[in-house]
Amino acid sequence: MEPRSDEEWRVILSPEQYSVTRKGGTESPFTGSLLNNKEQGTYKCVCCGLSLFSSEDKYDSGSGWPSFVRPISSNAVFEKKDISHGMNRTEVICPHCEAHLGHVFQDGPDPTGLRYCINSVSLNFYSLKKE
């Protein structure tokens, strides 16, 4: 994917999508459109369309954001240390377009023990349900 300018991202994305994916923001807890989604399908990056998470790995963490035990593949996301806001966290980023997706924590359920806490606005959901 060829890099896009800041102006291009502002045109392509909604203001909230831009704030979260391009500026590292966070949507308010319990407000995301995908939080309670229980359909079978794939969650993809809202910026570039890369497949990131499967509905098979989604669970209700009670945190207020869609949560997953693992990405769809070992190279689907990139992780980096995030010490912003006085916290020590691990940021989750799309490896294709470098969109900020959320954070991963080590307090999830089996089988991984991980909780990928992802902003709904950073994702598009593609249902497996046949219409």
Catalytic amino acids? Answer: 117
Beta bridge partners of 41: 127
From the CB of residue 40, how many other CB atoms can be counted at a distance below 10 Å?
A: 11
Please, are residues 13 and 22 in contact by the beta-carbon 8 Å criterion?
A: yes
Calpha distance 130→73 (Å, rounded): 24
Query: Do residues 115 and 102 lie in contact, with contact meaning Cβ atoms separated by under 8 Å?
Result: no
Give the pair of three-digit tokens for residue 71: 């990405």
Distance of CA 41 to the CA centre of its chain: 15
